[in-house]
Amino acid sequence: MENKHIIGLLVHNHPGVLLRVTSLISRRGFNIDSLTVSPAGIEGFSRMTIRINDDSQVEQFINQMMKIVDVKKAEVLPETESVASELVLVKVSSNETNKNDIIAVTSLYHASVVNIGENSLTFRASGTPSQLDMLIRELSVYGILEMARTGIAALETGDKCLYEG
Amino acid sequence: MLLNGSEIIAECLLEQGVDTVFGYPGGAVLNIYDALYKYSDKITHILSSHEQGASHAADGYARTTGKCGVVIATSGPGATNLVTGIATAYMDSIPMVAITGNVTNDLLARDSFQEVDICGITLPITKHNFIVKDVKDLANVIRKAFKIAMSGRKGPVLIDIPKDVTGAKCEYEKVQPEAIVNELISGQSDFDIAADIIRKSKKPMIYMGGGVVSANAEKELLEFAEKIDCPVASSVMGLGGFPASHKLFMGTIGMHGGYETGKATDNCDLIIAVGARFSDRVAGDRDKFGQNAAIIQLDIDKAEINKNVKIDCCVLGDLKDTLKKLSETVEEIKHDEWIAQVEEWGKNSNVTETPKSDIYAHPYHIIESVRKLTSDDDIIVTDVGQHQMWVSQKYKFEKPRTWCTSGGLGTMGYGMGAAIGSAVANPDKRVVLFTGDGSFHMNLNELATVRSYNLPIVIVVLNNTVLGMVRQWQKLFYGRRFSQTDPHRKTDFAAVAEGFGIKGMVIHNDDEAEDILAKAFALNEPVVIDCKISPDENVLPMIPPGKTVDELITEME
């Protein structure tokens, strides 16, 4: 099975930087399944978190990213030395008979009900990508009507930062 | 001092030591051309017939001088016409700054007349690009653009400037550019590991590429190769980076390289790649390339490591520094037995040559006759196709920056512009353009430029009346179905030349070749020589795409 790797990218907050990164991903054929962008907490910088699916591509991915002038740093965030988290909003088909079952399932994942429709329940949950995968798998039994995931945000544990100084 | 954007552009070019630019005027660059008018005593502008020609000229200027080429074009079609030239430079890591005008800031993003998102278009073919929306940023962006183009692995940078920015006033202060220093990336341990592998090797070979020329590391490479007594094969891009007459030089490697370099690649126990990138034209079969060898790679670009082939050890940094340091780390070695073996292969690599004919001239004969008329310092430019490969095989390049060819992108139509750039940059050297009838047809409009500036370029058209390289592949792999490769053109190139005000000559066969070439060279003015060669001439030997030297084709028909 292929191993997924999370990569943290510190980029200059210039117009077009997202295009530069995604264009590179596309033309070099990198296989990714999550990309998020947000302020980095450092003046003038944004942080991208990208999850790549293919072990053999990681070295090239980092080396190619580092060639983009606006990319300051690109590093693998090792699974055991980082925290990764994302948020999902999921609308599940429900009726009077299964409503309580569904809520029971979601409470195990600390998901909260954010909206109750006539024939649906909408939950918000956050956690590691694999926790959310499990939640979604369990909910799919009842029928997922629609869903939005934010993609992964990740930071290294301990005092170490992507950008030192 | 208070200047407008266009004057700031001119001042910043002067800061960078630019005295020559190539380009073509237009609506969005009117202000820039007005400044060029004012600065015409300090900056020479060479006007091409088409922006593509100007972009290749900036490229030829850069390749033959080592300086950064500069090209200017207007917005919209002016900018898009640069694209092939920028992509050509990008693939061959040639430093270039392209300046394009754009519509005014308030007209941007409205599909205005001659508006195009050239930054978006050139994103994958530039090291970096900028759009400058505020004149206050202009000077620093230009400085940054030159630094990016010239540092690390070199390449093109584009600056897009809306017209109002070129007219807006701003305070300008001259800044002396700091020298570009490429820090050594590898630590001592990388050199120690590499040296250890080299010491253990009994049958090493060097595979050099364009990086040697780009880094001006020819002296360091020569010393290194001699110290470890190691045969050298070159990619097409590397030619000139190692003297062809040297006893360690084997010739080109790859699809149309020789038997000698192919056998050496398969039988060596160590490949030392120096500023080369294992392209598909060299390593046809990536898995079998150097399958019995360890691989050490010296490069400035970390992303080249393990990109196409898996390597055992890398040394990263400017080749000038890394080659020198590696030479210092290893002791002198001798490989007499191995070199004797390589020389033996060299003797056997003779391709069956076409017998002499009265009806046609032979391309090898033309190339060798030209070589007799040129010095080692003279500059050879080619277009793309069979003629390019023949020149790469037969012309003996002794010095770096005497060879201009589109290696990576393989741009037909590159030659005319590149020859113009080379001639403008090197008035003291002879410039010869070898082209084919296919390539020449693409951009012969630039003959007008050659005439206007009276550039004494000798243009040798190896005219086989067909699109020879594609036709050769059709012969080999498509059952001789010559789809669209025999255009039945009746162009009289000598007459075309005369029409542009340039001397035209014709060579019909080998017997008259030397005389006519000698006459052409003696003219010292632009000249086009239409050399009639056989449409059935092939480029041999040939390793079929995706294969190794085991499947070398040495004869056809």
Residues of A in contact with B307 (CB under 8 A): 60
Residue A100's domain comprises 83-153
Q: Residue B553, Cα to own-chain centre: how many angstroms?
A: 27
CATH number at residue A62: 3.30.70.260
Cα B525 to Cα B440: distance, rounded to the nearest angstrom: 19
Burial class from Cβ neighbours inside 10 Å (0-12, 13-18, 19+) for residue B5 reads buried
B434-452 pLDDT, tens per residue?
A: 999 999 999 999 999 999 9
**Taking Cα atoms as reference points, which of B344, B330, B280, B331 lies closest to residue B309?**
B280
| A27 → chain B, closest CA residue | B124
Averaged over B79-93, what is the pLDDT?
98
Chain A interface disruption, residue of B90, B131, B302, B314, most A CBs within 10 A: B302
SS3 (DSSP) at A53: coil
**What count of other Cβ atoms lies within 10 Å of the Cβ of residue B242?**
26
Low-confidence winner among B303-312, B348-357, B528-537 (lowest mean pLDDT): B348-357
Averaged over A133-148, what is the pLDDT?
97
For residue B358, what pLDDT is reported?
83
Residues B124, A64: C-beta atoms closer than 8 Å: no
Residues of B in contact with A66 (CB under 8 A): 302-303
Q: Residue B555: which pLDDT band, with cuts at 50, 70 and 90?
A: confident
- 3-state secondary structure labels for all residues of B218-257: HHHHHHHHHHCCCCEEECHHHCCCCCCCCCCEEEECCCCC
Domains contained in chain B, CATH given = 2-171 (3.40.50.970), 188-347 (3.40.50.1220), 363-539 (3.40.50.970)
Residues B123, A23: C-beta atoms closer than 8 Å: yes
- Conformational region of residue B158, where left means phi above 0, alpha means psi within -120 to 50, and beta covers everything else: beta
Largest CA distance in chain A: 58
Q: Is the peptide bond before B243 cis (omega within 30 degrees of 0)?
A: no
Residues of A in contact with B148 (CB under 8 A): 69
A97 and A111 share one domain = yes
The Cα of B317 is separated from the nearest Cα of chain A by a number of Å equal to 14
| B308 → chain A, closest CA residue | A60
A31 and A72 share one domain = yes
Averaged over A26-40, what is the pLDDT?
96
A72 and A107 share one domain = no
Averaged over B264-273, what is the pLDDT?
97
Averaged over B473-498, what is the pLDDT?
96
For residue B265, what pLDDT is reported?
96
Nearby residues of B181 by Cβ (< 8 Å), 6 or more positions away: none
Residues B127, A19: C-beta atoms closer than 8 Å: no
A144 and A118 share one domain = yes
SS3 (DSSP) at B457: strand
Residues B306, A60: C-beta atoms closer than 8 Å: yes
Do the domain assignments include residue A59? yes
Averaged over A83-101, what is the pLDDT?
96
Residues B120, A19: C-beta atoms closer than 8 Å: yes
Q: Residue B349: which pLDDT band, with cuts at 50, 70 and 90?
A: low
Q: Residue B426: which pLDDT band, with cuts at 50, 70 and 90?
A: very high
Number of domains, chain A: 2
Average pLDDT, chain B: 96
| B148 → chain A, closest CA residue | A69
Residues of B in contact with A27 (CB under 8 A): 124
A81 at interface of B, judged by CB pairs closer than 8 A = no
A67 and A112 share one domain = no
A122 and A71 share one domain = no
Do the domain assignments include residue A125? yes
Do the domain assignments include residue A159? no
Averaged over A138-158, what is the pLDDT?
96
A71 and A92 share one domain = no
**What count of other Cβ atoms lies within 10 Å of the Cβ of residue B175?**
12
A68 and A117 share one domain = no
Asked which of A23, A52, A77 is the last residue of a domain, the reply is A77
Averaged over B165-191, what is the pLDDT?
96
Radius of gyration for chain A, computed over Cα atoms and rounded to the nearest angstrom: 18
Place of tokens 């302020």: A39
- Residues B461, B504: contact at Cβ < 8 Å? no
Do the domain assignments include residue A160? no
Place of tokens 């690390």: B152
Place of tokens 């939950």: A123
CATH number at residue A138: 3.30.70.1150
B286-341 pLDDT, tens per residue?
A: 999 999 999 999 999 999 999 999 999 999 999 999 999 999 999 999 999 999 99
Asked which of A45, A77, A109 is the last residue of a domain, the reply is A77
Do the domain assignments include residue A106? yes
A68 and A92 share one domain = no
**Taking Cα atoms as reference points, which of B339, B367, B385 lies closest to residue B485?**
B385
A71 and A87 share one domain = no
**What count of other Cβ atoms lies within 10 Å of the Cβ of residue B232?**
28
Q: Residue B351: which pLDDT band, with cuts at 50, 70 and 90?
A: low
Do the domain assignments include residue A71? yes
Radius of gyration for chain B, computed over Cα atoms and rounded to the nearest angstrom: 24
Helices B51-65 and B83-91, axial angle in degrees (round to 10): 20
A56 and A92 share one domain = no
**What count of other Cβ atoms lies within 10 Å of the Cβ of residue B59?**
30
A15 and A64 share one domain = yes
Residues A19, B123: C-beta atoms closer than 8 Å: yes
Question: How are beta strands B457-463 and B527-532 bridged, if at all?
Answer: parallel
Place of tokens 């590898």: B186
Q: Report the percent of chain A where pLDDT is more than 90.
A: 93
Residues A66, B302: C-beta atoms closer than 8 Å: yes
Asked which of A77, A92, A117 is the last residue of a domain, the reply is A77
Q: Which segments within B74-176 are labelled E, that is strand?
A: 96-102, 128-131, 156-162, 169-171
Residue B354 has pLDDT above 90, yes or no: no
Q: What is the ipTM of this complex?
A: 0.92
Going from the C-alpha of B150 to that of each of B21, B52, B67, the distances in angstroms are: 16, 22, 8
Do the domain assignments include residue A73? yes
Q: Residue B543: which pLDDT band, with cuts at 50, 70 and 90?
A: very high
For residue B76, what pLDDT is reported?
98
Side-chain-side CA neighbours of residue B232 (13 Å)? 30
Do the domain assignments include residue A165? no
Residues 50-69 of A with CB under 8 A from B: 59-60, 63-64, 66-69
Residue B523 has pLDDT above 50, yes or no: yes
